[in-house]
Chains A and B, each alone.
Chain A
Amino acid sequence: MNFDNLKNEWNAENPAESNISSDMLKINQAHTPIDKIRAKMKHEFFYQLFFLVFMAIIPHIFGFSALINRVFLMTYSTTCGFTAYYFFKFYIFYKNSYNLSMDTRKNILWFYYEMKLNIELYKALTYIVAFISVGFLNAFVFIEKASIFSKILNKLSPVYILLNCFVTILIIGAITELWAWFYYGKYLKQVKKVIDELDSE
């Protein structure tokens, strides 16, 4: 195979493409993995907003007592606080522009770490909301169903209770990790593959 001949033919090739018009500069959405993650995070923001609105009417639906209402208010405000903080971070990520004119290594590493960081932030928010919810459920059971619950607790060994806590944490962890992987992980995997290709000796 003569690469020099091939080079000449390659350079002589002049694809008969029509001219690029200004319309092509006006597409609404780019399609790099980071843009796809950003678009998904934007959707998640609206789901989260809906979840917070729904959370606000939970006391009315279930007719909580005054004491539980106070606990719920604490839970709700903490959830709103954390959500606002993390969504502010995601907003910065959403607005942060990227520059594809760097060399390939710098460019691909920027993509990788920016995506990884935001997926980790997303997981952190999911953990926080899940543990706050579990905390509220515990408070609810201890306050509202104290007599029944204390009877049950008295019958259970401390090892069993600890095991239950451990399994709960494990389930929350597994769901969060799997969901993040299913929703965002494939993009990260694709980018990591390119880094490995670039690094291979």
Chain B
Amino acid sequence: MKETENTFLTLINQHKAIIHKISKMYMNDAEEQRDLFQEIVFQLWKAYPSFKGNSKFTTWMYRVCLNTAIICFKKESRKVDKTPYDGNIDIIDVNENEGKEEKLAYLYTAVQELNAIEKALIFLFLENQSHREIAENLGISEVNARVKLNRTKEKLQFIIKKNGYEF
């Protein structure tokens, strides 16, 4: 048991960035991010016996992490500004000189306006998953995955613009 636990902890620590990124995408509040992080780790540990090594560890991990994040709802629905873009917004061009972290911070802010499935689509896309892999993870057809992803990317661009940024 101890050996299994150690193997699991080694694997999970190698890929903890996945859990961290998903927590940041699905929760806006720092405390809720911590709670989700902990919940994901717990669910991964609970599901670990189901990992038979037939697929890559990260593939299995994506599923458990995303399914946990999708099913664990925010404690209360915080109101996110969803005012439609009216074209009269000063756009700040976040160019190459600006910090990469800042760019990602804008991204994390923008994804808060996406729904749970759209967040999963964007996450898997950013993790270099193909349309087929995205479809397999979400249990939808490849065509549907492609259409949904394109729409979500457009929506995300729109939100980022609406928030006054461009990169």
Q: Which of A25-33, A144-152, A153-161, A168-176 contacts B (4 or more CB under 8 A)?
A: A25-33
Q: Does A105 contact B (CB under 8 A)?
A: yes
Q: Does B63 contact A (CB under 8 A)?
A: yes
Q: Contact at A1–B117, with CB atoms within 8 Å?
A: no
Contacts of A102 in B (CB 8 A): 63, 67, 139
**Chain A CB within 10 Å, residue with most, of B67, B101, B104:** B67
Alpha-carbon distance between A11 and B101 when the two chains are bound, in angstroms:
12
Contacts of A5 in B (CB 8 A): 167
Total inter-chain residue pairs, C-beta < 8 Å: 139
Q: Does A111 contact B (CB under 8 A)?
A: yes
Q: Contact at B67–A31, with CB atoms within 8 Å?
A: no
Q: Contact at B117–A12, with CB atoms within 8 Å?
A: no
Q: Contact at B137–A6, with CB atoms within 8 Å?
A: no
Q: Contact at A6–B103, with CB atoms within 8 Å?
A: yes
A100-B43, A100-B68, A105-B138 known; A197+B117 contact, CB < 8 A: yes
Contacts of B39 in A (CB 8 A): 30-32
Alpha-carbon distance between A22 and B9 when the two chains are bound, in angstroms:
7
Q: Contact at A101–B104, with CB atoms within 8 Å?
A: no
Q: Does A66 contact B (CB under 8 A)?
A: no
Q: Contact at A103–B42, with CB atoms within 8 Å?
A: no
Q: Contact at A25–B5, with CB atoms within 8 Å?
A: yes
Cβ of B76 to closest chain A Cβ, rounded Å: 11
Alpha-carbon distance between A2 and B156 when the two chains are bound, in angstroms:
12
Q: Does A54 contact B (CB under 8 A)?
A: no
A20-B13, A190-B73, A198-B140 known; A15+B20 contact, CB < 8 A: yes
